[in-house]
Amino acid sequence: MRRTLLFTGILAAALAGSAAITGVSLAQSPADVVAARQQAMKDKSAAVFRTMRPFVQNGAGSLAAVQAAAETLASHNGKYQALWPRGTELGVAGSKTRPELWQQTDRLNQLIADMERNASAMAVAARSGDAGQIRTAFGGVVGSCNACHDAYQSR
Ligand code: HEC
Pocket of ligand 1 (CB under 6 A): 34, 37-38, 41-42, 44-45, 48, 73, 80, 95-97, 111-112, 115, 141, 144-145, 148-149, 152-153
Q: What is the pLDDT of residue 28?
A: 64
> How large is the average pLDDT for residues 86-107?
96
Task: Locate the ligand 1 atom nearest the alpha carbon of residue 114 and give its number.
Answer: 5
CATH number, domain containing residue 59: 1.20.120.10
Q: Say which range, 4-8, 53-57, 96-100, 132-136, has the weakest mean pLDDT.
A: 4-8
Average pLDDT of the chain is 87
Q: Would the pLDDT of 14 be above 80?
A: no
Estimate the share of the chain in helix, then strand, then coil, as percent rounded to the nearest 5. Answer: 75, 0, 25
Query: What is the domain extent for residue 135?
Result: 2-152
Q: Would the pLDDT of 23 be above 50?
A: no
Question: Structural domain tally of the chain?
Answer: 1
Q: Would the pLDDT of 19 be above 80?
A: no
pTM for the full predicted model = 0.86
